[in-house]
């Protein structure tokens, strides 16, 4: 019986040990840094929407020696002395950078809302309703064009608001609390950047304003993030209240102006499904034998067929039409047969490496989409290179506008040629089939633009970024949802779109 008991005890003990194993996921920590450059002249950089960096007025702050400011410093010291471990965690989290974190939050919301509506009992797909964002289907359906636009406006608002903030920072030149009073113990590294108005509050308020408009069902979450972002600067001893409130007001005012463009950029007509008939007729008139058809059951209307008419950032409509890639191979041509044969070969024997690449870049439903993928890469590059908040926002704005331009131009091409998907020729997919036309590849267009923008700003990374873009482009062939020529044309088209963003960047006065 002793042996029996021992085996029972061992079994129980083993079960207990096994069940208590720690499986927590660890993600890289992001520690705050002092920027390599403060970009002192940032207040003169060219803005996207603001006519000038002082278009929104910010009142002169109380001087460092004033009783009002001293009272704020005293209050700050009291606050610092009473912070909790949770407060400290928030300080460290936001210490990674305001633009860094708000971009990450935007990607998270993008992923959360990136699910196509389900068909209803009548076999129809209800259109998400902005006035009922949490109903089924949720609003928005954050597909790649939607996300490219949401993050473009987010980044532009952050950038314009920071240019304005930099103008006032160096105009009023009020130093950080810990530089004015050595007894203020800041939890994060403190640079010589003037602290009024707070750049973190500017970014928080601008980001909040854009994201509430883009993701109206997430107001409670965004309220909490906004409050925490601002409080963290106080808890960390980085800003006094007046730094924060001035930044908050400036960020909100600038973002409201930026959202003025969003309201009139043509997005409200992007899902106009009545354009399809004319587009098909036009493509057929040019010789298309059989047009793209939804492969879903029931057939789903194409994703945002009129998105190509939304207003681009870095070029005008005429330029966009002039940049349009030349027609894809006719369906009875050798060029088409070669491309289809390549896919058939992969269909029969997809290698594990091909599957890996297809999966790594899939960025499909439930993900932050290809623009999100590239914004993450940009955020990490800015972080690694210790860019200032302003310079980080500039990178994200250049990238963001290029990604929205890529979506607009690519959707114009897709709708113009109305080319069928490989699945209309009997192929399966290992990544899920997007519900819109094949030519050109959206992934390739986004990636071509992103690699050019980021590779120009970070030249030592250019080779790697170009290779990444090529892999992203190839991934759509490996996943069997694009022909080779869809991807090659998209990548080339994307590069031209990236060049337009860079042309603007070179002329924005940053000297970068």
Residues that bind another protein (CB under 8 A): 4, 7-8, 11, 14-15, 18-19, 21, 23-28, 104, 107-108, 111-112, 115-119, 136-138, 295-298, 347, 350, 352, 355-356, 359-360, 362, 365-368, 373, 376, 423, 427-433, 480
Is 62 within 8 Å of 242 (Cβ atoms)?
Answer: yes
Pick 26 or 332: Cβ nearer another protein = 26
Pick 287 or 366: Cβ nearer another protein = 366
What residues contact 388, with CB distance under 8 A and at least 6 apart? 35, 37, 38, 39, 42, 193
Burial of 149 from C-beta contacts in 10 A (0-12 / 13-18 / 19+): buried
Residue 362 CB, nearest approach to another protein (Å):
7
DSSP 8-class letter at 216: G
Residue 243 CB, nearest approach to another protein (Å):
30
Residue 70 CB, nearest approach to another protein (Å):
42
Pick 138 or 252: Cβ nearer another protein = 138
CA–CA distances in Å: residue 361 to residues 209, 285, 350: 30, 35, 16
Cα separation of 273 and 280, whole Å? Answer: 12
Pick 18 or 507: Cβ nearer another protein = 18
Scanning 193-287, the segments in alpha helix (DSSP H) are 199-214, 219-235, 241-263, 275-285
Residue 89 CB, nearest approach to another protein (Å):
16
Residue 361 CB, nearest approach to another protein (Å):
8
Residue 476 CB, nearest approach to another protein (Å):
14
Burial of 17 from C-beta contacts in 10 A (0-12 / 13-18 / 19+): exposed
Is 179 within 8 Å of 192 (Cβ atoms)?
Answer: yes
Cα separation of 416 and 327, whole Å? Answer: 9
- How many CA within 13 A on the CB side of residue 315? 23
Which pair of structure tokens corresponds to residue 297? 């059951």
Cα separation of 43 and 169, whole Å? Answer: 8
Residue 141 CB, nearest approach to another protein (Å):
10
Pick 75 or 89: Cβ nearer another protein = 89
Residue 222 CB, nearest approach to another protein (Å):
15
Pick 104 or 243: Cβ nearer another protein = 104
Pick 38 or 110: Cβ nearer another protein = 110
């Amino acid at each position: 019986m002793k042996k029996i008991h021992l085996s029972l005890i061992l079994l129980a003990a083993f079960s207990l040990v096994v069940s208590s194993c720690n499986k927590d996921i660890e993600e890289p920590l992001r520690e705050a840094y002092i920027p390599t450059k403060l970009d002192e002249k940032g207040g003169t950089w060219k803005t996207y929407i603001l006519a000038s960096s002082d278009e929104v007025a910010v009142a002169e702050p109380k001087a460092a020696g004033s009783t009002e400011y001293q009272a704020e410093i005293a209050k700050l010291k009291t606050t610092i002395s009473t912070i909790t471990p949770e407060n400290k965690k928030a300080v460290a989290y936001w210490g990674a950078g305001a633009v860094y974190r708000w971009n990450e939050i935007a990607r998270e919301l993008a992923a959360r809302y990136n699910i196509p509506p389900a068909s209803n009992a009548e076999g129809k797909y209800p259109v998400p309703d902005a006035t009922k964002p949490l109903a089924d289907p949720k609003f928005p359906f954050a597909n790649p064009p939607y996300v490219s636009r949401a993050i473009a406006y987010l980044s532009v608002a952050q950038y314009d608001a920071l240019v304005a903030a930099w103008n006032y920072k160096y105009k009023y030149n009020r130093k950080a609390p810990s530089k004015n009073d050595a007894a203020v113990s800041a939890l994060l590294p403190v640079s010589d950047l003037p602290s009024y108005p707070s750049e973190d509050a500017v970014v928080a308020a601008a980001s909040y304003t854009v994201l509430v408009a883009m993701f109206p069902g997430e107001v409670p979450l965004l309220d909490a993030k906004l409050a925490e972002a601002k409080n963290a600067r106080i808890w960390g001893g980085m800003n006094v209240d007046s730094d924060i409130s001035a930044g908050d007001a400036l960020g909100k005012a600038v973002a409201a102006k930026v959202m003025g463009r969003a309201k009139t950029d043509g997005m409200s007509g992007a899902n106009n499904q009545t354009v399809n008939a004319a587009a098909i007729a036009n493509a057929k008139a040019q010789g298309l034998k059989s047009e793209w058809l939804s492969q879903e059951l029931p057939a789903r209307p194409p994703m945002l067929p009129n998105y190509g008419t939304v207003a681009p950032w870095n070029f005008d409509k005429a330029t966009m039409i002039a940049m349009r890639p030349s027609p894809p191979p006719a369906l009875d041509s050798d060029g088409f047969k070669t491309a289809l044969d390549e896919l058939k070969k992969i269909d029969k024997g997809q290698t594990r490496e091909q599957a890996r690449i297809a999966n790594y870049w899939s960025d499909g439903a439930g993900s932050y989409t290809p623009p999100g993928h590239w914004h993450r890469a940009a955020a990490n590059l800015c972080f690694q290179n210790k860019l200032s908040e302003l310079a980080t926002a500039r990178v994200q704005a250049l990238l963001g506008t290029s990604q929205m331009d890529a979506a607009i131009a690519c959707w114009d091409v897709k709708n113009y040629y109305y080319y069928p998907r490989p699945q209309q020729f009997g192929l399966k997919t290992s990544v899920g089939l997007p519900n819109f036309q094949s030519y050109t590849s959206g992934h390739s267009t986004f990636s071509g633009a992103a690699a050019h923008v980021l590779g120009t700003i970070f030249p030592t990374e250019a080779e790697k970024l170009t290779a990444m873009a090529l892999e992203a482009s190839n991934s759509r062939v490996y996943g069997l949802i694009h022909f080779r020529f869809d991807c090659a044309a998209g990548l080339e088209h994307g590069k031209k779109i990236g060049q337009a963003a860079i042309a603007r960047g070179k002329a924005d006065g940053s000297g970068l």
